[in-house]
A and B are shown apart, each in its own frame.
Chain A
């Protein structure tokens, strides 16, 4: 099983936990905060990994940030519709490229920011209103899409940070570890249900399994099937089995009895919930049960692993389990009246696809979606990048930005070619020196202002060349072409200064594998002498990107 995790928060915690409960799964870690670009880059590592299951994990903190960054009312009003439609679009895009993929999406936590006091749900501009609407739209969508799975945080009460703000502000931990444990076990259950053979048939014993007592001794009217005590359990058990049968699970009797004695209770005891025609097969003889189950398998033409065998007698269970190891044989509790709880808890009857019954009910939803045309609006990563309407300003370092620039050099590990750290005073020093060219990029898009996200420091050599001392980018804006935009700017700057060559160097660390091909991908030539990469400025071709100059 191959599972890809992508999210807008630190998903390593979720992956760590998940790998401890499902060590056999292969996992892919999406780039930080790159849900859209991971799914839309069909040539990227995500698609090379070929995931069977994709988990998209969005945090309500990010949801809140995005909402707060909106300025005009129209965008605020449509926020949840657009946000939820985006997930649906991504799902459809994913399906069009990986037809068998399943998507797991934990719903956003309901969270009230108290802006509207107690009346949040009476205001269409409240955050809580939008979170609820977002979740509801996705719930409706999931009803008619078998491969779209939701996890409801409602089942987990202590889901919010719960006083862990110290770790959110310092380390971008959006959830408590308890909640992350809950989420990973839910994901595991879903993944397991995808792998498991579904139970199609329940094979049942009669005496002390479907009723209390032994029909051959107590008689068809003497067995316990109603009233208080054991009889009450057997009544409840039969009612539950009838629900299973109505859902489409096949019931079969396999009992060591004479057939006419075994059938008597069904024929003359009016308290019996199950009737003879509730069973697809009725086998009562003195053969061993393993042989009888072989016969059942042949007759119904199903696999052994889709048969569940229920018998109160541990010896019978043992024989079947030994002779037919594929058959599912629950190890029922000693007190058989605990068995129903046990079977419910074990959750043997996973519904992977929607059954015919459910399908009719969901047909109306489906046609509704067809009307609004169920089609992904994205066709490529380029469409997505265009839709972001990104604008940027590129400028030299300024004193005001020195603190932020220093922070970026200290904290950026992934998109960082040489990982040179600079203090604030180093930066203040560099910007006074004539031997350095500096560039900083501030980026905005239709989700708001990202601030200063990328920088370059270029050292001018005496020989008319230049050395790329630092080029780095915040992981918040990976895969959007910011580096292409920045390199274009650098080249223009170098041309203005009549510099012919730019030399680059890649210093590998455990975290910057992302950029190991940066130079080759951007037209630099490798020079084995000094292990550097050289760009001839006059041969550089401007790199296409979707970032426009900011007009502000």
Chain B
């Protein structure tokens, strides 16, 4: 089961505790209200738990937009 942007939207809504109606694959944390450094960590931990994956230090470091995150998940699962 490949991770999709819709799954990511749901996870993001859960962590940020508000419904996020639409996101783009090219969005960066700056584009989404409340996605700060603290929530970034909660998002990473949640993704690791849900998809049962472990991101490498360099993967996390090299993310710039949502697409990077989703494609890393899909290479790991």
B61: A residues at CB distance < 8 A: 170
**Does A43 lie at the interface of the complex (its beta carbon under 8 Å from any beta carbon of B)?**
no
Of the candidates B41, B54, B59, which one forms a contact with A173 in the assembled complex, judged by CB atoms under 8 Å apart?
B41
**Does A177 lie at the interface of the complex (its beta carbon under 8 Å from any beta carbon of B)?**
yes
Q: In this complex, what residue of A is CB-closest to B38? A: A12
CA A165 – CA B60 in complex, angstroms?
11
**Does A166 lie at the interface of the complex (its beta carbon under 8 Å from any beta carbon of B)?**
yes
CA A169 – CA B60 in complex, angstroms?
10
B60: A residues at CB distance < 8 A: 166-167, 170-171
**Once the chains bind, are A171 and B56 in contact (CB under 8 Å)?**
no
- B-contact bits for A171-185, CB 8 A (1 contact / 0 none): 101000100000000
Number of A-B contacts (CB under 8 A): 27
- B-contact bits for A461-490, CB 8 A (1 contact / 0 none): 000000000000000000000000000000
Residue total for A at the interface (Cβ-Cβ under 8 A) = 12
Of the candidates B38, B40, B54, which one forms a contact with A166 in the assembled complex, judged by CB atoms under 8 Å apart?
B54
**Does A16 lie at the interface of the complex (its beta carbon under 8 Å from any beta carbon of B)?**
yes
CA A166 – CA B44 in complex, angstroms?
10
CA A12 – CA B45 in complex, angstroms?
15
Q: In this complex, what residue of A is CB-closest to B63? A: A170
Residue total for B at the interface (Cβ-Cβ under 8 A) = 13
**Does A195 lie at the interface of the complex (its beta carbon under 8 Å from any beta carbon of B)?**
no
Q: Is the interface of A mostly helix, strand, loop or mixed?
A: helix
B56: A residues at CB distance < 8 A: 166
**Does B57 lie at the interface of the complex (its beta carbon under 8 Å from any beta carbon of A)?**
yes
Would you give the shortest CB distance from A180 to chain B, in whole angstroms? Answer: 11
**Does A163 lie at the interface of the complex (its beta carbon under 8 Å from any beta carbon of B)?**
yes
Would you give the shortest CB distance from B64 to chain A, in whole angstroms? Answer: 13
**Once the chains bind, are A171 and B54 in contact (CB under 8 Å)?**
no
**Does B35 lie at the interface of the complex (its beta carbon under 8 Å from any beta carbon of A)?**
no
**Once the chains bind, are A166 and B55 in contact (CB under 8 Å)?**
yes
**Does B22 lie at the interface of the complex (its beta carbon under 8 Å from any beta carbon of A)?**
no
**Once the chains bind, are A165 and B57 in contact (CB under 8 Å)?**
yes
CA A13 – CA B55 in complex, angstroms?
20
- B-contact bits for A2-32, CB 8 A (1 contact / 0 none): 0000000000110010000000000000000
**Once the chains bind, are A171 and B57 in contact (CB under 8 Å)?**
no
Nearest 9 pairs of A and B residues by beta carbon: A166-B57, A170-B60, A169-B57, A171-B41, A166-B60, A166-B55, A12-B38, A173-B41, A170-B61
Residues of A within 8 A of B (CB): 12-13, 16, 163, 165-167, 169-171, 173, 177
22 A-B pairs whose Cβ atoms sit less than 8 Å apart in the complex: A12-B38, A13-B38, A13-B41, A16-B38, A163-B54, A165-B57, A166-B44, A166-B54, A166-B55, A166-B56, A166-B57, A167-B41, A167-B44, A167-B60, A170-B57, A170-B61, A171-B37, A171-B40, A171-B41, A171-B60, A173-B41, A177-B45
Residues of B within 8 A of A (CB): 37-38, 40-41, 44-45, 54-57, 59-61
Other 10 A-B pairs with CB < 8 A, given A165-B57, A166-B56: A166-B57, A166-B59, A166-B60, A167-B44, A167-B45, A169-B57, A170-B61, A171-B40, A173-B41, A177-B45
